[in-house]
Amino acid sequence: MIERALYTSDHEAFRDSFRRFMDKEIAPFHEAWEEQGFVDREVWRKAGENGFLCMSMPEAYGGAGADKLYSMVQIEELSRAGFSGIGYGLHSEIVAPYILHYGTEAQKRKYLPLLASGAMVGAIAMSEPAAGSDLQGIKCTAIKQVDDSYLLNGSKTFITNGWHADLVIVVAKTNPAAGAKGTSLMLVERGMPGFQTGKRLKKLGMKAQDTSELFFDNVKLPADKLLGGPAQENRGIICQMEQLPWERLQIAIGAVAAAQAAIDWTVDYVRERKVFGQAVATYQNTRYTLAELQTQVQVARVFVDKCCELIKSDQLDTATASMAKYWCTDLQCKVMDECVQLFGGYGYMWEYPITRAYADARVQRIYGGTNEIMKEVIARGMGLGGR
């Protein structure tokens, strides 16, 4: 195996402490959270209390001022353990960075400490019932009024952390006539009149994750709820494009960690399980299958680790991040499928982690931009224009 050079001993010590946190605060409850369809709010507060939220935010805004590698460790550990109900990654490394990079000083001072402490749970709402891949087609509008406030109308769907969320960054058209160039990012808080959370969606996997619909009916947003103020008006799509490499890389990091965990569980299982008087591990099919999967996961890990180095110095381009997202999540699904097969009927039983991991994996090829969209981005980067 190629030794990883990405992390220092400090990162590894952090990994140990985060594992201890997961063992105490997540592992005993995750199954019950799957049954109820959402995690207990307490697990957000405890993560904040222990400094596990918004770690890469500056200390001045309540974060730890840590490098992104600490967040990568968290993503790896949650994926390895199959704790797919926990939405810390989206909260800390997608929602908070939008506020840090584009927010006004007042917005950063108000929201980032609340996100870091877990007092507020964050979500980002781009997708709509009729607009997922094609974000230019979003119908949500935030129209400026004579008093400089905005009136927000429309609905969103498939929103991660949507049911718990206290703060939602909503992508809305502030200039509908300008198409994609007329979108802005609006800050919507729980309790604002006209803002309603819809039902929690029942999903194939990620059963403890509170993925929800959101509805906005004449929500009056004061001018200071435009993320970044007038300087960012109608720049929503540009902000989104800038954040894509890191968002997509996070998915790839999780994919590789989950795939490695599946291989490890399967190796343990096939050594123990006897069929026709011999361990399943002794069959050539088993050994070759696992050897192939391990080879591919090793290749993926080296590529993703290189991408992690690049993102640290802001050098990861969107096409390369898209390659990581598409290739690693395709691989994750393939690994899960082959490993389930090696578990036989037990691989279809919910009590087995491999079964949950199989169900959880499938969405990785869909969200964060589908893998077909990733290939579009890569092809365009090669000078192959599409439609």
Ligand X SMILES: Cc1cc2nc3c(=O)[nH]c(=O)nc-3n(C[C@H](O)[C@H](O)[C@H](O)COP(=O)(O)OP(=O)(O)OC[C@H]3O[C@@H](n4cnc5c(N)ncnc54)[C@H](O)[C@@H]3O)c2cc1C
Rounded to whole angstroms, the Cα distance separating 237 from 240 reads 5
> Considering 34, 105, 247, 309, which one is annotated as catalytic?
247
Task: Choose, by CB under 6 A, the member of 8, 17, 133, 145 that binds ligand X.
Answer: 133
Nearer to ligand X, 292 or 372 (CB): 372
User: Strand 167-173 and strand 122-125: pairing?
Assistant: parallel
Task: Choose, by CB under 6 A, the member of 39, 57, 125, 281 that binds ligand X.
Answer: 125
- Is 242 annotated in the active site? no
Beta-bridge partners for 269: none
Question: Shortest CA distance to 203 belongs to which of 162, 256, 154?
Answer: 162
**Residues 56-75: x where in contact with ligand X by CB under 6 A, - otherwise, as a string:** --------------------
| Residue 50 binding ligand X, by CB under 6 A | no
Output the 3-class SS for 81-123: HCCCCCCHHHHHHHHHHHHHHHCCHHHHHHHHHHHHHCCCCEE
Asked whether 214 and 155 are in contact (CB, 8 A), the reply is yes
Task: Choose, by CB under 6 A, the member of 100, 357, 363, 377 that binds ligand X.
Answer: 363
**Residues 79-118: x where in contact with ligand X by CB under 6 A, - otherwise, as a string:** ----------------------------------------
Asked whether 311 and 247 are in contact (CB, 8 A), the reply is no
Q: Tell me which residues in 364-383 interact with ligand X (CB under 6 A).
A: 366-367, 369-370, 372-373, 376
Residue nearest to ligand X (CB): 132
Task: Choose, by CB under 6 A, the member of 99, 114, 126, 219 that binds ligand X.
Answer: 126
Rounded to whole angstroms, the Cα distance separating 38 from 210 reads 5
Q: Is 283 exposed, middle or buried (0-12, 13-18, 19+ CB in 10 A)?
A: middle
Asked whether 302 and 336 are in contact (CB, 8 A), the reply is no
Task: Choose, by CB under 6 A, the member of 48, 113, 132, 254 that binds ligand X.
Answer: 132
User: Nearest distance from residue 21's CB to ligand X, in Å?
Assistant: 24
User: Nearest distance from residue 264's CB to ligand X, in Å?
Assistant: 25
Task: Choose, by CB under 6 A, the member of 66, 120, 124, 324 that binds ligand X.
Answer: 124
Evaluate the CA torsion angle 246, 247, 252, 253 in order and state its sign: positive
Nearer to ligand X, 281 or 378 (CB): 378
The count of residues interacting with ligand X (CB under 6 A) is 20
Could you give the angle at which helices 68-81 and 284-312 cross, rounded to 10 degrees? 160
Nearer to ligand X, 228 or 369 (CB): 369
Helices (H) and strands (E) in the chain, counts: 12, 9
Rounded to whole angstroms, the Cα distance separating 104 from 242 reads 18
Q: Which amino acid, 346?
A: Y
Nearer to ligand X, 67 or 330 (CB): 330
Rounded to whole angstroms, the Cα distance separating 46 from 43 reads 5
Q: Which residues contact 277 (CB under 8 A, 6 or more apart)?
A: none
**Residues 316-355: x where in contact with ligand X by CB under 6 A, - otherwise, as a string:** ----------------------------------------
Q: Tell me which residues in 188-217 interact with ligand X (CB under 6 A).
A: 203, 206, 211
Q: Which amino acid, 188?
A: V
Q: Tell me which residues in 149-178 interact with ligand X (CB under 6 A).
A: 158-160
Nearer to ligand X, 206 or 261 (CB): 206
Residues taking part in catalysis? 247
Chain positions contacting ligand X, by CB under 6 A: 124-127, 132-133, 158-160, 203, 206, 211, 363, 366-367, 369-370, 372-373, 376
